[in-house]
Amino acid sequence: MNRRTFLRFSASVAALPAARRPAQAQAYPSHAITLVVPTAAGGAMDSVTRIIAERMRVLLGRAVVVENISGANGNIGVGRVARAAPDGYTLIVGNWNSQVANGALYTLQYDVLKDFEPISLIASFPQLIIARPSMPADDLAGLIAWLKANPGKASLGIPGVGSIAHVSGVFFQSTTGVHFQFVPYRGTPAAMEDLAAGRIDMMFDAPAPSLPQVSAGRIKAYAVMAGNRLAAAPEIPTVDEAGLPGFYFSLWFGLWAPKGTPQDVIARLNDAVVSTVTEPSMRQKIAERGMEIPPRAQQTPEALGAFHRAEIEKWWPIIKAAGIKGD
Q: What is the pLDDT of residues 49-61, one digit of tens each?
A: 999 999 999 999 9
C-alpha atoms less than 13 angstroms from C-alpha of 290 in its C-beta half-sphere: 22
Least confident of 3-17, 154-168, 236-250: 3-17
Residues β-bridged to residue 118: 256
113/117 Cα distance (integer angstroms): 8
Q: Residue 251 pLDDT more than 80? A: yes
Average pLDDT (51-74) is 95
Query: What was the pLDDT predicted at 87?
Result: 98
Backbone angles phi, psi at 182, to 5 degrees: -95, 130
The pLDDT value given to residue 149 = 97
Report the pLDDT value the prediction gives residue 9, as an integer from 0 to 100: 42
Decide: pTM greater than 0.95. no
CA distances (Å), 66 to each of 39, 40, 69, in order?
A: 11, 11, 10
| Residue 106, pLDDT above cutoff 90 | yes
Which amino acid, 207? Answer: P
Q: What is the pLDDT of residue 244?
A: 97
pLDDT at 40 over 80: yes
pLDDT at 5: 44
Three-state DSSP string of the chain? CCHHHHHHHHHHHHHCCHHHCCHHHCCCCCCCEEEEECCCCCCHHHHHHHHHHHHHHHHHCCCEEEEECCCHHHHHHHHHHHCCCCCCCEEEEEEHHHHHHHHHHCCCCCCCCCCEEEEEEEEEEECEEEECCCCCCCCHHHHHHHHHHCCCCCEEEECCCCCHHHHHHHHHHHHHCCCCEEEECCCHHHHHHHHHCCCCCEEEECHHHHHHHHHCCCCEEEEECCCCCECCECCCCEHHHHCCCCCCCEEEEEEEEECCCCHHHHHHHHHHHHHHHCCHHHHHHHHCCCCECCCHHHCCHHHHHHHHHHHHHHHHHHHHHCCCCCC
pLDDT value at residue 290: 79
Among 128-132, 184-188, 240-244, where is mean pLDDT lowest? 184-188
Looking at residue 72, what is its pLDDT?
A: 87
Contact 51, 11 (CB under 8 A): no
Q: Over 80: is that where the pLDDT of 252 sits?
A: yes
| Position 31 confidence tier, pLDDT thresholds 50, 70, 90 | very high
Mean pLDDT of all residues belonging to the chain? 91
Cβ neighbors of 132 (< 8 A, separation 6 or more) are: 195, 196, 197, 198, 200, 201, 202, 219, 220
String of b and e for 237-248 (b: at least 16 CB within 10 Å)? bbbbebebeebb
User: Averaged over 283-303, what is the pLDDT?
Assistant: 90
Chain centre distance of CA 143: 28
Predicted local confidence at residue 17, as pLDDT: 43
Please give the residue that has the higher pLDDT: either 284 or 264. 264
What is the percentage of the chain residues whose pLDDT exceeds 90? Answer: 79
CA–CA distance, 74 with 43 (Å, rounded to integer): 13
**Average of pLDDT values for 126-144?**
97
Return d(Cα 104, Cα 69) in angstroms, integer.
21
- Could you give the CA distance from residue 160 to residue 184 in angstroms, rounded to a whole number? 5
Residue 292 pLDDT level (bands cut at 50, 70, 90): confident
Whether residue 168 contacts residue 250, with contact meaning beta carbons closer than 8 Å, is answered with no
**19-39 average pLDDT score:** 77
- Residue 8 is predicted with a pLDDT of 47
